Amino acid sequence: MLSFLARRAVTGLATLFTAIFLMFMLVNKAIDPLSDLYQDTSPNKAQKIAARIDLLDLNTNVVVRFFKWLGHFLTGDPGVAWKTGEQVAPLIAHAIGSTLQLVTAATLTSVVLGVAVGIVSALRQYSAFDYVIIFLSFLLYSLPSFLVGVLLKQWGAIGVNDFLAEPVIPWVVIIGVSLVNGFIWSIAVGGPVRRRLEVAGSATAASIAMLAYLQLTDWWNKPSLGPILIGVLGAAGALAIVAIGAGLHNRRALYASLVTVGVGLALYFPIGAFFDGFLESNVLMLGLGLAAIATGLLVGWLFGGPDRGVSMRSAAMTAFLVAALTYVDQLMQVWVEYSDGLRGRPFPTFGDRTPNLTGSYWLTTLDSYTHLILPSLTLVLIAFASYTRYSRSSMLEVMNQDYIRTARAKGLPERVVVVRHGFRNTLIPLATIVPIDIITLIGGAIITENIFARPGMGQLFVRSLTSAEIDPVMAYLVITASLAIIANIVADLIYASVDPRIRLEA
Amino acid sequence: MTTTPQPSADSERMENAIELKGVEGLSQGQIVRSRFLRHKGAIGGVIVLAAIVVLAYSSVGFGPIQGWWKWTGDEVGSQTNAGGTPTLTLPGWLGGPGFALGEHPLGQDVIGRDLFGLVMRGTQTSLMVVAVIGFVAAVLGIIVGASAGFYRGRIDTVLMRTTDLFITVPVLVIGAVIGKLSGKISGAVFAVALGFVLWTGLARLVRGEFLTLREREFIDAARVAGASDIRIIFKHILPNAIGVVIVATSLLMSSAILLETALSYLGFGIVAPEVSLGRLISDYQSSFATRPWLFWWPGSFIVVIALSINFIGDGLRDAFDPRQKRIPSERKMLKSLRAQEALAAQDAARPVTDS
């Protein structure tokens, strides 16, 4: 294990050095820092060029320049973006922050959605749902991200803002959307015709009811969840979590989860009062989230029984869900103030925060979320397609294995076969793909960041390359290249830890 | 009681007959071809892609050859419709005033250039870039992967470390630097340069195939018979690995078109006066609100091309995958089960009626 790590680290460093050297040569060849001076008409053109050459040390051989730069970089000085005179280190630090926000949000959503949809699609292989999902994932996979971005900007931001100015959906549209929703649910759940019709009917009715409620209470402009909706959603979530994770016949897990929802509701008003008189921060939110999980674990543990672990897991997941809902509810309480502050157009199309916006923690957080939503959606739509394809083919592969047949033959319920034997093994190949994706995405979603003008890593790279500043470009390249190498090592380690058949010595 | 025709059972038998033919002594190529031809998505992709190629090259012409379309997209002139809206009108049954192409079916831009001509030229460039990238990457990948897998040892180490280098830096980043470098050169050179970046994945796959195939008996037999290394590589091993190569190349080409358009969009790809679909979108994205057709047409051509290449690649993968079995849908299974039951019932009933 240690020798494996050491060997990989050494080869990784060698690769990194060569890659950086080659990229330095290539970037040096590609950019021309003097280009803006060629058209210069002032009499002291020659002096200006000489000064520029002197500033950037262009008369030195490029190899020597590379080692000079490397020496500075290793001693902690990544250089200066010479056009603006900004130090590279703070530039990069700021860009990484902005990119991390975007990437975590987008990757988490797309992994969860993609894996869930891919697995359902694999379980219903060759059904209408499967074909729809296959076609959809092909279509999303073939969409250039800039196309998605520009469309979302137009419809997602400008369209929704226009809608919010006069939020009335025609009843025909509501009924049509609900019918489509009902149809999708019916083909996803599958089964005999009667069950399909039941599912379609109830899903349609539920969505009509929900949309009508939203419409009639003017929810679009005054969104809120409130304790009642949190209770309903939390209970529904608890049911779903228990049904998938433990089976509804496991009464202890079910009651533990429902009690957790009750605890969350009981804390709703105290928490609201607590937030009113407190200086909130992200760290505090994280701590409260962990506290919620701990509460869930405690409730599950108190229910006891022969298989405490299952109850504790279900209750903890429910607790996290309820905490997240409460968090969203708190955010929604400042929505009206936020929307009014932006003159009724709350969905921005560029940047990562509204300039000169000051207010409570909730207001600034809401502001950064509204800025995140469209770029994340762009990334999610495309990444969702590839995760769906991965997890679908992986699940199909697993469900054809002999141990699945064995599990069925010894009489396990289908839920246990799918969740415990199928799903867990499906995650093995994904465990190597996801870390690589996350870490390489820190290099920035170059195109998405450019469309939405988010000051992240990708935009930093593109801007520096266009304006012929080699120092930020190289700092960017060092970071992305080392992250790529680390990602590959991490993926190998994860693979070995989740699949005991893999040995690292090889 | 005479035998009644069993249409569903017959069609099932037809389905099975194709599978059975695989056992009847067809060559691998024939099996692959028939599997590919049965893949509806892939055939659809082939037809659509062929139609686009023909349309793009015949309409505006290429090189010295004149096309049948009257504009090339360079002519600046007055706008036929106010604002340059498309003159294409929908036929009556779609709610339009009757089908007509008009002077500028896809519309014109601000200075009156014909969008159809521009889109066709952009499509030509994008198709050319994809083909060149696919070709260069495939040739390089095969050569590198084959020599690494066949000779192993030091050559293998060196070649694989080289591919590691390319994997370390994101393709989009290398592409941007190359695009900036080749900003002064033509699109073809740009495509070749991108091909030099994208071959690594293919090389790894080919190497893996070669590592397993070189240990097989027929290779020993060829070597004993006195075949040279070159002959063994190209005549004995490569034909066995060709499935992997074709599938990987087709998937690579579908990502290549997105890469080219993305780079052109960022301004690091094809530059004026050359036209590419990505550059058209990048040029016209600001006019999305006022002249949406300028954005929609190039965009939909990119999506359709990428989609059809993806479908073809998927069909090829299914065709080359020996484990791939066509499983009939639940409904078909039920149908044939019922047909069988009916047949059995008839058989059971027959002695009674006959006697």
| % of chain A beyond a pLDDT of 70 | 98
| Dist. CA A396–CA A426, nearest whole Å | 9
Residue of B nearest to A449 (CA): B266
Q: What is the pLDDT of residues A338-391, one digit of tens each?
A: 888 777 777 877 777 777 777 778 888 888 888 888 888 888 888 888 899 889
What was the pLDDT predicted at B222? Answer: 92
What is the least distance, in Å, from the CA of B249 to any CA of chain A?
16
Q: Is the pLDDT of residue B73 over 70?
A: no
What is the least distance, in Å, from the CA of A402 to any CA of chain B?
16
The answer to whether the beta carbons of residues A115 and A348 sit under 8 Å apart is: no
What is the pLDDT averaged over residues B270-294? 79
Residue A135 CA: distances (Å) to CA of A121, A129, B52, B310: 12, 10, 21, 11
Q: Do B173 and A144 touch (CB under 8 A)?
A: no
Residues 144-163 of B with CB under 8 A from A: 161
Among the partner residues A139, A144, A477, nearest to B173 by beta-carbon distance:
A477
Residue of B nearest to A143 (CA): B303
Q: Do B173 and A461 touch (CB under 8 A)?
A: yes
Q: Is A465 on the interface with B (CB under 8 A)?
A: yes
Q: What is the pLDDT of residues A134-182, one digit of tens each?
A: 888 888 888 888 888 888 888 878 888 888 877 778 888 888 889 998 8
Least-confidence region, from A363-377, B6-20, B147-161, B172-186? B6-20
Confidence of residue B232 (pLDDT cuts 50, 70, 90): very high
Q: Which residue(s) pair with A81 in the sheet?
A: A86
Among the partner residues A19, A147, A488, nearest to B302 by beta-carbon distance:
A147
| Dist. CA A295–CA B105, nearest whole Å | 65
Confidence of residue A318 (pLDDT cuts 50, 70, 90): very high
Q: Is the pLDDT of residue B51 over 90?
A: yes
Q: Is A11 on the interface with B (CB under 8 A)?
A: yes
Among the partner residues A30, A154, A443, nearest to B170 by beta-carbon distance:
A443
Among the partner residues A19, A142, A484, nearest to B307 by beta-carbon distance:
A142
Q: Is the pLDDT of residue B323 over 70?
A: no
Q: Is the pLDDT of residue B299 over 90?
A: no
What is the least distance, in Å, from the CA of B336 to any CA of chain A?
17
Q: Is A484 on the interface with B (CB under 8 A)?
A: yes
Q: Is the pLDDT of residue A87 over 60?
A: yes
What is the pLDDT averaged over residues B252-280? 82
CA angle (A173 as vertex; A171, A178 as ends), nearest 5: 95
Q: Is the pLDDT of residue B269 over 60?
A: yes
Residues from chain B contacting residue A485 (CB–CB below 8 Å): 168
Taking alpha carbons only, the member of A73, A223, A466, A357 closest to residue B177 is A466
* Average pLDDT score over chain A: 85
Q: Is the pLDDT of residue B4 over 60?
A: no
B296 or B328, which is more confident? B296
Q: Do B168 and A481 touch (CB under 8 A)?
A: yes
Q: Is the pLDDT of residue A409 over 90?
A: yes
Claim: this prediction has a pTM higher than 0.90:
no
Confidence of residue B184 (pLDDT cuts 50, 70, 90): low
Q: What is the pLDDT of residues A12-50, one digit of tens each?
A: 898 899 989 988 888 888 888 777 777 777 777 788 888
| Dist. CA A428–CA A494, nearest whole Å | 9
What was the pLDDT predicted at A55? Answer: 80
| % of chain A beyond a pLDDT of 90 | 11
What was the pLDDT predicted at A113? Answer: 92
* B178, burial (CB in 10 Å: exposed 0-12, middle 13-18, buried 19+): buried
Q: Do B302 and A26 touch (CB under 8 A)?
A: no
Among the partner residues A14, A31, A146, nearest to B180 by beta-carbon distance:
A31
Q: What is the pLDDT of residues A180-229, one digit of tens each?
A: 988 888 888 777 888 888 889 998 998 888 888 888 887 877 787 888 88
Output the DSSP codes for B157-183.
Answer: HHHHHHHHHHHHS-HHHHHHHHHHHGG
Q: Is the pLDDT of residue A335 over 70?
A: yes
| Dist. CA A266–CA A260, nearest whole Å | 10
Which helix (DSSP H) or strand (DSSP E) does residue A449 occupy? helix A446-451
Residues 316-335 of B with CB under 8 A from A: 327-330
Residues 256-275 of B with CB under 8 A from A: 258, 261-262, 265-268
Q: Do B262 and A126 touch (CB under 8 A)?
A: no
Confidence of residue A294 (pLDDT cuts 50, 70, 90): very high
Q: Do B168 and A19 touch (CB under 8 A)?
A: yes
Confidence of residue B46 (pLDDT cuts 50, 70, 90): very high
Identify the sign of the CA torsion A87, A93, A98, A102.
positive
What was the pLDDT predicted at B133? Answer: 92
What was the pLDDT predicted at B5? Answer: 47
Least-confidence region, from A1-10, A391-400, B228-237? A1-10
| Dist. CA A148–CA B265, nearest whole Å | 13
Among the partner residues B169, B173, B288, nearest to A154 by beta-carbon distance:
B288
Q: What is the pLDDT of residues A96-142, one digit of tens each?
A: 888 888 888 888 889 999 999 999 888 888 788 888 888 888 888 88
Interface test with B, best of A32, A150, A437 (most B CBs within 10 A): A150
Q: Is A443 on the interface with B (CB under 8 A)?
A: yes
Residues from chain B contacting residue A481 (CB–CB below 8 Å): 168-169
* Average pLDDT score over chain B: 79
Least-confidence region, from A5-14, B90-99, B100-109? B90-99
Q: Is the pLDDT of residue B71 over 90?
A: no
A317 or B27, which is more confident? A317
